[in-house]
Amino acid sequence: MEHQHNQKDNPLIHDLMMKGFIYTTLHHLSWPQQTLTVENGLVLRFYHRGMLSITPAQYKGDSATVISVGVHGDETGPIELVDKLVTQVLSGEVSISHPCLFIFAHPDATIKKQRFIEQNLNQLFEMSNMQIRGIEGEIAAKIKDVVELFFERSSGKKRWHLDLHCSSRPSQYPVFAIRPATRHQSGSADQELKYFAQHADVQAFLLCHHPSYAFSWYTGEYFQAKSLTIELGQLRALGENDLSVFSSFLSGMHLLLNRNEKLDDVNCMDQDIAVYDVVDEIRKQHPDLAFTARQALINFEPLYLNQEYGIQGGVPMICESGGYALVFANDKVDVGQRAALLVERIR
């Protein structure tokens, strides 16, 4: 990959510096693979469209961070937030202490104002030898290749990945995190995740106990990264998001990108974070699946003991605990797809 120092005539770097990450990703359909050093010493590496790493001129240690958005193309709030973050890093307003990879995963779906084009990209990050199928399959393969290359020179315990999303439904917690279940879970890793959550004003943690094929699971499972899926507010059209409501989360990302060897609790607020376990992953097994409880309209809204909250295959779905709630309830998904998470607050 060619390394260039003079970018005056490079339209890709010109638009990135002057118009931002969103504009450059949406308007440049092809990103030639190249490495560039800009005037302030930052080293930019272009992998594929929407995949950009930024490395400080000098750094110590072997940390690395991935920030991804647009895995679902219509989730525009996080895309706009990371556009702002990339601009802050490029301008020097925000310092980074180590290599950082920014991924805008599915720009074509964003242009079409769709979640995806053929299939859900966030269910395609499974085994490395999976068959590549369709548009989203090709995107997943590229992302996995780039992440593997990016993480090569870093240490597993010093890798982080935040995959940013937003929900189609309102939530009791406007900002909440999902920790995937991986073979590398540990108490010390969870403690660092907690510190980040406190710094970033994350209001709730959702703990998964079974593997999934989501992007955050992939980086945690295969690269030992401290990985989270973060849900930031609700769906809005591109350009209509109020980023001020995520100012605390943005500050948390600033801290993460400029960390030393690890995050700690220095200057960390003693914030009470709600913690939930995933009790069940509800799959749509019959076309008649319907969520009948009004609580299904709001993530984390508590169900009542013995309340019917849905019907599937003609059989009522009954809440067996007063501490249960639904998250991501959507009975319109295709048969075989996840329709909701049934969760229980544990603290």
Nearest-CA neighbor of 22 among 105, 91, 98, 96?
105
CA distance 175 to 96: 24
Nearest-CA neighbor of 150 among 106, 102, 101?
101
Please pick, among 39, 231, 261, 320, the residue that the annotation labels catalytic.
231
136 is catalytic: no
- Alpha helices per DSSP H over the chain: 11-19, 21-27, 76-91, 107-111, 134-150, 187-199, 215-223, 247-257
Is residue 184 helix, strand or coil?
coil
At 121, the amino acid letter reads L
Asked if residues 109 and 115 have their Cβ atoms less than 8 Å apart, the reply is: yes
Sort 194 into a burial class: Cβ within 10 Å, 0-12 / 13-18 / 19+.
buried
User: Does the CA dihedral 4-48-69-59 come out positive or negative?
Assistant: negative
The CA–CA distances, whole Å, from 74 to 64, 77, 272, 286, 316 equal: 27, 9, 31, 27, 33
Asked if residues 12 and 44 have their Cβ atoms less than 8 Å apart, the reply is: no
CA distance 65 to 258: 10
> How do 308-312 and 290-291 pair as beta strands?
antiparallel
Asked if residues 242 and 171 have their Cβ atoms less than 8 Å apart, the reply is: no
CA distance 88 to 78: 15
User: Which residues are catalytically annotated?
Assistant: 231
